[in-house]
């Protein structure tokens, strides 16, 4: 693979970068470049409320990109280190040679809708993951200026796959996931994002077949700007999905977090829970959509947003939405947004706590369920990050 650093984003640099790749992937990159030149940047804005600016130096990102086999090498080292033998991690070319239909899956769930998407497909490092039986896969990405990963994951029928993904470091980090959950399979996918600075873009989308389940848990604590979308298609009957999003934005962080669940199969069940704190001058857009199609009889869906504002300057737009095209369903949604309850604060202070310590205790309790399902080591790490943010609360 040619690893030369190229100064500009253009057709010649793409051809050079993709010179040793499968022709299908090279053509995909060139088509993405055509769209990149035409499309606009996504906007961090909703109505007349929360808004912010997003600036990405694409040429600088291009200069710092790694060779397109870096993610596979990282995966293989990780599998060996953890002695994981029931998962295969293949480059796109190796996967296509073994399973030609993989070409039909790449990009099928996540189309190009804006300039960031197009840039992702131009330079992304693609890895295809299969599990042969029940398995746990820990992923730990440390971004050094630039990373741009694309995972195609196929969860085998009647298996349980647990993926824990951590992203740390600094700079520009993009993480796209296309997840195919075969009948009666269950996938738990946990993302912990704690970039020290920079921009984080994540798009994860799952197609869930009959009697299958997917459970997303997204925890966003870092980055200057995070834009994370999680989408689930409940295609088969009796499918289930949950999306839990937890976040703590402070200083001048900008978070744009979206969860979408679409019911196509009958007797399907979905839940969206979004919970977070916002402090200082941070801003968050929180979108949730449960869509029940006409044929999705007896579907059940619920969503809830809970946000605690710790500063008068913090801003939030929470938008729970239901779109229902069938009368035989059960659905609910709600949003609870507000500042720390003054009576609760007074009660704790009357027991001898300072205002600052009382605020911290309330916030820690607010996040109580966020890390309950994580392994102890990761739970403690997230709690430590939250504590460091709480240290900046002004009483």
| Tens of pLDDT, residues 60-83 | 666 656 555 677 788 888 888 888
Give the pLDDT of residue 267: 97
Q: Percentage of the chain surpassing pLDDT 70? A: 92
pLDDT of residue 6: 33
Which regions in the chain score pLDDT beneath 50?
Answer: 1-7, 395
Three-state DSSP class for residue 41: coil
Antiparallel, parallel or unpaired: β 283-292 and 254-263:
parallel
Neighbouring C-beta atoms of residue 305, cutoff 10 Å: 23
CA distance 16 to 3: 9
What the block records as the tokens of 28 is: 């995909």
Confirm if 44 and 227 have CB atoms less than 8 A apart: yes
Contacts of 391 by beta carbon, 8 Å cutoff, 6+ apart: none
> 383: buried, middle or exposed (CB in 10 Å: 19+, 13-18, 0-12)?
middle
Alpha-carbon distance of 61 to 145, in angstroms, equals: 8
Amino acid 335: pLDDT: 79
- Phi/psi class of residue 168: alpha, beta or left (left: φ > 0; alpha: ψ in -120 to 50)? beta
């Amino acid at each position: 693979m040619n690893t030369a650093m190229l100064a500009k984003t253009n057709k010649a640099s793409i051809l050079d970068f993709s010179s040793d790749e499968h022709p299908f992937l090279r053509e995909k990159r060139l088509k993405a470049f055509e769209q990149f030149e035409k499309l606009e940047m996504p906007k961090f804005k909703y109505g007349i409320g929360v808004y912010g600016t997003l600036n990405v130096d694409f040429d600088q990102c291009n200069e710092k990109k790694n060779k397109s086999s870096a993610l596979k090498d990282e995966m293989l080292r990780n599998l060996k280190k953890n002695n994981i033998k029931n998962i295969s991690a293949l480059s796109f070319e190796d996967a296509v040679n073994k399973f030609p239909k993989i070409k039909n899956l790449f990009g099928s769930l996540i189309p190009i809708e804006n300039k960031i998407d197009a840039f992702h497909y131009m330079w992304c490092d693609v890895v295809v993951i299969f599990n042969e039986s029940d398995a746990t896969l820990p992923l730990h990405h440390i971004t050094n200026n630039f990373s741009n990963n694309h995972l195609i994951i196929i969860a085998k029928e009647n298996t349980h796959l647990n993926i824990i993904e951590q992203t740390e470091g600094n700079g520009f980090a993009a993480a796209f996931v296309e997840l195919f959950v075969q009948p009666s399979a269950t996938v738990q996918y946990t993302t912990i994002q704690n970039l020290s600075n920079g921009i984080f873009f994540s798009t994860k989308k799952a197609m869930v077949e009959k009697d299958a389940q997917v459970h997303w848990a997204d925890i966003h604590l870092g980055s200057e700007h995070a834009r994370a979308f999680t989408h689930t298609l409940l295609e088969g009957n009796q499918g289930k999905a949950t999306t839990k999003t937890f976040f703590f934005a402070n200083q001048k962080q900008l978070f744009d977090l979206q969860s979408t669940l679409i019911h196509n199969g009958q007797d399907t069940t979905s839940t969206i829970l979004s919970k977070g704190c916002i402090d200082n001058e941070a801003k968050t857009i929180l979108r949730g959509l449960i869509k029940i199609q006409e044929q999705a009889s007896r579907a059940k869906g619920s969503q809830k947003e809970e946000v605690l504002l710790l500063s008068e300057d913090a801003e939030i737009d929470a938008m729970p939405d239901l779109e229902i095209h069938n009368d035989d369903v059960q659905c609910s949604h709600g949003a609870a947004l507000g500042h720390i309850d003054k009576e609760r604060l007074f009660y704790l202070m009357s027991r001898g706590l300072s205002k600052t310590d009382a605020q911290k205790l309330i916030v820690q309790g607010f996040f109580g369920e966020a890390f309950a399902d994580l392994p102890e080591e990761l739970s403690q790490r997230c709690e430590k990050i939250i504590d460091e943010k709480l240290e900046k609360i002004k009483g």
